[in-house]
Structure 1
């Protein structure tokens, strides 16, 4: 797990631009606090910041490999979980290795198979190979988009990096934002390739981008496959159990301390139970961590998304598996600390507006990083197995839009309510969302003889696996890597995703509940309380002091001359300050968080925003 950057300019001498390459690399220092390195040649500069996970002494990057026809150089971020099998295969083909790292395996795999090495990898990765034999740069991103990867085409090449901030450190990439960028920020459709920044786009998941003197070309090496499912229910449950056990065991491999994120929900509890079983067999106890808020359990009030507090279920799981557990308990002052908010905005490069859910995640990861370097997370289980409440809400799943927007339509509308009338008119979010929905539907293959219900649920699952989950994966990666913590996501193993995606919806709900297959496959490691628990999302504080602190901070900026007020209605902010904190709705509190995120984003990045 690391941060990567690079610059290819076929009409310039990059060897004279080392200072810029190093400045780009330095923006990734928190992603890789253990080491730094650069590779400079005539037309290419590569930079790497390392978070050492495997082969701590010898896994330095950029890593090179000499061939008679020219040198190969790689910068790699992520983990390849099947690197040991690939290493054995390559050794049998005559390759010789000098380290124990997965990066060297990927580099030799590229030498053997070229860009097609991507199709052999099981893992989360974003890497670039400079191939001096052909004067080409090859950029590869993992299938689900777990690891971030951005690039910007220039007149004579490309600039790339793990995060937009690395590209913005290069004078060739201006910090411009236009209406197209803002539309997606407020719409939440996860348009493929989107970046808030006008001149920057993503390397899309499952994609290889090749750069040479002719420009950039793109090839998709993986798409979510669609086919009939022939296994019966019992066989399906057994196979999911086998896959989950293998995946967790693979993702526990590390030369540094590991832990599990535990929320007391089905997803994280299943991972904790499977990890505990594996580590117990090796004479170890699993370490688990959760986030909570001061007095949350004692004063908890059910809302539209959460029926119960997490704490009782966390205690049940920790007791059952005998984990070494720590609750990270946060108060309103910590959650509203402007420095924490600025750290989140800087980590994500966007004003996401998730408030306490982002701020608490960063603080949780910061506490974990004091003792662990690798954490397993339950991210994407809801997308894979069908867990969100809107999967079961008739109105949401039959709406002619993205289900997550239909389920919480009022809240989605409120995300842009603070914008000036002119900006709202230009963005025209309703039309944008409708266009994106139409585009997304056109790319979803059908299976012959599916019922209308099965077809509709396949569509919904596809939308979540190719759109919604990518927003969550980006959030998880950015906030964890901001403190140098590697978070692994077992439910994103492509073998599991492909298999479960193609199971009938009737299998996914065979017990009349959400995520039936996961519950059945892992019930042997779960307490009964978790087996019976209804889906509950990531926790959010119910402390009135949080809202009051937001209002105080908004009042302090309401008269500011910030560029924020070029897109946000000043009177709307003042109205937020005057609202009775005790009656502020969740939607209005979300607006407050979004305005404060925008304020700090303008202050940190000084973007040029053009909404004509």
Structure 2
């Protein structure tokens, strides 16, 4: 796991400045504390910050081939790299390291841009092909690793994080108007948007090929939902094959030359991953959980710490639990915003705090991220409309009501509602399957999960920790996406098939435990405090965000009157936090 950046001055009016490239690289120092390198050749420059995981003594980047015509800067892990290395050696390629970076170089030499379809892992990389003057960017299938770019009429810039691109003198930090309502009312950015104007995200499962002053975004992978009648299997067949895929995914993700462990909340997902990892690990597995002191009193018998201890005892792991204070959470809001590069949700500062504590024990951790989106683990799936009837994203209800807070001019300029409608139509009509829930799950994987993965990457890499996600091996995603939804959700029960797998591996108390969100400080009084702060920000002419909103509508919303009488208190609380976080983002980045 690392940080990458680069600049291609394709207009050839000025060479790439090594000083500028070093500033871009330095902005990513937290992602790669173990080393740094740059490659500059007139109009092309590549930068790299290294977090050493495999082949610790070698693997310095940017890395090149034998004749220095292909250069790569790379972030991530290719879990099948040793298999690929053997195949390439059989084709005559010679290796001088035992790291996956060199496999990317030789794979590109052998297969060109199609090499990416052979990689099983999480990755974002850039290749400079000197012979064809081509810059080739690639991002993994699910978007576990972030990759951003900015294209002007003279240069293409890219990086693992936006803050590195902002170091280039051609780029000024400006808010992307369309991203503001998307963040607030969808909690997902659409169409490759970031919060910053002129900076976009390379979509998951895509490559970006830039040659002859022309950009081509090329998809190389997507989930394909098939008709439920195709390749029918029994529940037992689905269960056995899913478990086999999970076992293999966890085994592959244990490769490491540095200390590793597993996050363990005591919930179904993290417990299952930890149990599988403990079965493969060659040493006593380290596990970690967190809670806020007062939350333990509120949660009572459903506290994460209780169930995490139960699971740790059952697996005999080397377990640590971290207890935080509410002040720890609030003190981290601005720092977390700087790392995540967007307004943060309620739980992100907690994730950031957890990774901070982990750094002294491990460099690699396993996470249960992605299970809910694959297997239908969220409560709102229980009464879900058919995908064709959706008018809002299921994870972001009250769109019609809450979007009324927007200044009408902002709503017209951004065409926000039209963009939401077109995204829903496009993503729910791509397949002919008659399984409506699987279509909705596809939405979650492509949009909602992407936000969760970005949060995980940036909060973990803020402390130089690599987080791996066994549920998101693309073989698992391909397979589980087409398991009939009746085996995932039925009669008020969720994650049916995953729970049946878990019954053979976990204590019954873990399998039947009621789902609980990631911990954040719970204080009933904060609902009133937060909504008053949010309303004041909108009513004030001095705040950064007031111009986005209709002051009268906002006042009615927060005071539940004039059409907002029946507004859900949770929706008000979440909106209040989102507005406060938006103001914090503006101040953090000076936009």
Q: Give yes or no for TM over 0.5.
A: yes
Question: 2:314 is matched with which residue?
Answer: 320
Distance 1:368 1:57, change over 3 A: same
Question: 2:427 is matched with which residue?
Answer: 440
The TM-score, its normalising length taken from structure 1, stands at 0.87
Question: 1:276 is matched with which residue?
Answer: 278
Question: 2:475 is matched with which residue?
Answer: 495
Contact kept, 8 Å, 2:265 with 2:289, in 1: the verdict is: yes
Matched, 1:80 2:60: no
Cα distance in 2 for partners of 1:545, 1:285 equals 43
Comparing 125-134 with 184-193, greater Cα deviation is found at: 184-193
Distance 1:501 1:551, change over 3 A: closer
The TM-score, its normalising length taken from structure 2, stands at 0.90
Distance 1:229 1:183, change over 3 A: farther
Cα distance in 2 for partners of 1:555, 1:222 equals 44
Cα distance in 2 for partners of 1:236, 1:555 equals 50
Cα deviation, residue 527, structure 1: 0.9
Distance 1:289 1:574, change over 3 A: farther
**What are structure 1's unaligned runs of at least 5 residues?**
302-306, 608-612
Q: 2:257 aligns with which of 238, 255, 258?
A: 255
Cα deviation, residue 553, structure 1: 7.6
Distance 1:398 1:289, change over 3 A: farther
The Cα offsets for residues 543-589 of structure 1, whole Å up to 9 and x where unpaired, read as 3475688589879988783433333578999999999xxxx943333
Cα deviation, residue 397, structure 1: 6.4
Q: Secondary structure at the match of 2:355?
A: helix
RMSD: 2.9
Question: 1:515 is matched with which residue?
Answer: 495
Q: Secondary structure at the match of 1:249?
A: helix
Distance 1:548 1:492, change over 3 A: same
Cα deviation, residue 427, structure 1: 4.8
Question: 1:147 is matched with which residue?
Answer: 145
Contact kept, 8 Å, 1:59 with 1:103, in 2: the verdict is: yes
Cα distance in 1 for partners of 2:385, 2:16 equals 60
Matched, 1:220 2:222: no
Cα distance in 1 for partners of 2:141, 2:372 equals 18
Cα distance in 2 for partners of 1:43, 1:395 equals 53
Contact kept, 8 Å, 1:10 with 1:157, in 2: the verdict is: yes
Contact kept, 8 Å, 2:135 with 2:211, in 1: the verdict is: yes
Q: Secondary structure at the match of 1:37?
A: strand
Question: 1:567 is matched with which residue?
Answer: 548
Matched, 1:310 2:290: no
Contact kept, 8 Å, 1:241 with 1:522, in 2: the verdict is: no
Distance 1:414 1:63, change over 3 A: farther
Cα distance in 2 for partners of 1:290, 1:41 equals 47
Alignment of 1:473-484 (within 5 A): 473-484=453-464
Cα distance in 2 for partners of 1:385, 1:32 equals 34
Cα distance in 2 for partners of 1:464, 1:553 equals 31
Q: 2:92 aligns with which of 75, 83, 94?
A: 94
Cα distance in 2 for partners of 1:504, 1:397 equals 15
Cα distance in 2 for partners of 1:104, 1:420 equals 52
Cα distance in 2 for partners of 1:419, 1:502 equals 39
Distance 1:360 1:575, change over 3 A: farther
Question: 2:329 is matched with which residue?
Answer: 335
Q: Secondary structure at the match of 1:295?
A: helix
Question: 1:344 is matched with which residue?
Answer: 336
Matched, 1:371 2:361: yes
The Cα offsets for residues 434-485 of structure 1, whole Å up to 9 and x where unpaired, read as 232122223x2124xx4xxx2x122112212222211111111111111211
Question: 1:242 is matched with which residue?
Answer: 244
Matched, 1:466 2:446: yes
Cα deviation, residue 299, structure 1: 2.1
Contact kept, 8 Å, 2:74 with 2:101, in 1: the verdict is: yes
Question: 1:392 is matched with which residue?
Answer: 382
Alignment of 1:188-207 (within 5 A): 188=186, 189-207=188-206
Cα distance in 1 for partners of 2:385, 2:24 equals 47
Cα distance in 1 for partners of 2:356, 2:557 equals 31
The Cα offsets for residues 80-127 of structure 1, whole Å up to 9 and x where unpaired, read as 001111111111111111111111111111111111111110000000
Cα distance in 2 for partners of 1:484, 1:83 equals 22
Distance 1:469 1:347, change over 3 A: same
Distance 1:105 1:423, change over 3 A: same
Distance 1:547 1:31, change over 3 A: farther
The Cα offsets for residues 12-57 of structure 1, whole Å up to 9 and x where unpaired, read as 3765511111111111111111111100012200011111111112
Question: 2:587 is matched with which residue?
Answer: 603
Distance 1:256 1:559, change over 3 A: same
| Corresponding residue pairs, total | 580
Cα deviation, residue 533, structure 1: 2.1
Distance 1:398 1:108, change over 3 A: closer
Cα deviation, residue 349, structure 1: 1.2
Cα distance in 2 for partners of 1:160, 1:515 equals 39
Q: 1:409 aligns with which of 365, 381, 397?
A: 397
Question: 2:564 is matched with which residue?
Answer: none
Matched, 1:524 2:526: no
Distance 1:318 1:575, change over 3 A: farther
Cα distance in 1 for partners of 2:558, 2:377 equals 36
Contact kept, 8 Å, 2:290 with 2:305, in 1: the verdict is: no
Question: 2:129 is matched with which residue?
Answer: 131
Cα deviation, residue 278, structure 1: 1.2
Q: 1:168 aligns with which of 166, 170, 174?
A: 166
Cα distance in 1 for partners of 2:71, 2:512 equals 51
**What are structure 2's unaligned runs of at least 5 residues?**
561-567
